Amino acid sequence: MKSKIEQILKQLVGFEITKTTRSGATECLKFGTKFRNDHKGIERQIGAFALHLQCPWRFTKDNKILVGDNDLFEQTDETGEYNEDFNWDIQGGNLRDVKLMNLLKSRGLVVKSIEVDDFGGFELAFPKNIKLKVFPTLSSKSTYSEYWRLLDNRNNESKHFVVGPLGFDE
């Protein structure tokens, strides 16, 4: 499985993260630019590749975490008092959304290299020593469990590469 994942992810080398969206807690990173009309006929930037993350992940620089998946459940004001009405699921209304948007504004997040582990996890290296580390932590063998997926949108039909506790599925 490790060599197959490495082969799939190597396609990202040279592509820049150009956009991020979110569906619930799933982060959707877009690499490169590709537009497609959605089911309503609205043109959307889907990326040449889209990486959907459903397991723990974090962006780091040197010895600092820039943003991590659990920042989703934190308010945007890191020093403010806790707000009992805080709703993490509002787009742009949580710390993760804000920090990711700021990170992408800095531009230049072009994938330089990848490293894959034995558990379906990986690390993408970017310039300025920024890294994205994805590390599955689920031991369940449920057929409905998924760590992450990579969508190859370069052709008219999207191709999905799915990695979960049962291995790799295409």
Summarised one tens digit per residue, pLDDT across range 155-164 is 888 899 999 9
Q: What does the pLDDT read at residue 59?
A: 98
Contact 58, 69 (CB under 8 A): yes
Residue 46: pLDDT band (50, 70, 90) is confident
Contact 114, 125 (CB under 8 A): yes
Q: Is the pLDDT of residue 57 over 90?
A: yes
134-152 burial, b for 16+ CB within 10 Å, e for fewer?
Answer: bebebeeeeeeebbbbbbb
Average pLDDT over residues 146-162: 91
| Sheet order of strands, 159-164 included | 17-23, 26-31, 49-53, 148-152, 159-164, 167-169
Residue 143: pLDDT band (50, 70, 90) is confident
What are the tens digits of pLDDT across the range 76-126?
988 888 888 889 999 999 999 999 999 999 889 999 999 999 999 999 999
Q: What does the pLDDT read at residue 162?
A: 93
d(CA 146, CA 30): 19
pTM of the model: 0.91
